[in-house]
Structure 1
Amino acid sequence: MKNNISNYEKMKNHMAGVFLQYDQERMIQKFALEHDKNYIYIPFVGRRYRIDRLKGTVTWSNDFFQTEEKADYNEVMTIYDVLCYSKENCYLADEWVNVGSLASIQGGTLAKGNDFFQNAGQYFDGKTNKLARACEILGGRKIKKGDVGYELALFPFLPLSLCFWESDEDFPASLQILTDKNILDYMHYETLMFAITHILNRLKDECEEG
């Protein structure tokens, strides 16, 4: 029987091998990561993940790895990219910018007015209480912007802010994602899309469970 593996799984397996080619001690020191001889641990959007230091595979757990789940494509690609490809001396500018205004991604999937954010805005319309609760479950810190505004830790060293406005008689619902001005020193543009997609999926899941 032929073993059908999706292209996403193939890419995950490939990137696990790529990860193993990088200096793990260097990334541990760079981002002050918890580790032991078998795993590197990294918090990501309110969950605890670990990377197998011999296999390169990524899993997550909510119970200190008494049980664990395989990380999906968006999760692993974001984690690998930040650990392996972030610039050597990356640092936060401490200046928030809308992801759509980053010069190098004008016209990209995350550009202002793109369906990516319009669809998310429509989904959360009428769900402000559920969205706020979901942000808090993900470890968010409330900020005074929008009808719902939270700063979320993409990683402990890399924050992101979500701002949502409900629709009214004049304007449709609006969702904005703000990142540090230097976000692309930490990850590629395509990876930023994976990371934001992951966050929005997590928030939708929590809204549906709440």
Structure 2
Amino acid sequence: MTDPYDILGVARDAGEEQIKAAYRKRAKAAHPDSGGDTDAFSRLQKAYELLLDPVRRKVFDDTGYDVELTDAVDLQALVAIEKLITEMVLDEREPGTFDPVAKMRAALLEEIRKAHFSKSELERHSNRIGLHLDRLGKRPGKDVVGHMLRARIKAIATAISETEAKIGASERACDMLDGYLYVMDEPGDEAEPAPDIEWDDAPKVRSAAQ
């Protein structure tokens, strides 16, 4: 995650005027018309916009993330965690009777395991197709079979890249969950249920007439 405070060179408690002054100073040197780098100037603008937006700034200060400045892997990791948060919210079990953070970590580790297995299977298929191609004599004229096999290898390579991205995002999500400690109920902390009252045994109230 790129830090907007570092980009602008201001303190984390900088006020609006300080942020504007820092932006004007850096924008002169960073602007492409002055020989600056286009990407660097774009990051400078995004950092400036973030820190002037009180809502986005508060979210960044609280979480360390902002959609405009977060890299693709972090965004995918945040999406994965958001899905797990939804599952946590919908879980009907009483808070304290299970560890939702541990459950999220376990789900991410299972996704990583499945993705690694899928990647190894894809690589195995690609290698097998490659061996077929090595043994396949090129047909004079149009090489339909060879073309289709090479296209299949290319498609598998794309799938492998997507699987690697998924692994990276899940691993990053696990990193984001590091450091959280969830307090579980101790055995016996559950509230004692109220005893059932048999109405026949309940104290009888004398009427005013008695």
Give yes or no for TM over 0.5.
no
Higher strand share: 1
Larger gyration radius, structure 1 or structure 2: 2
TM-score (norm: length of structure 1): 0.24
TM-score (norm: length of structure 2): 0.24
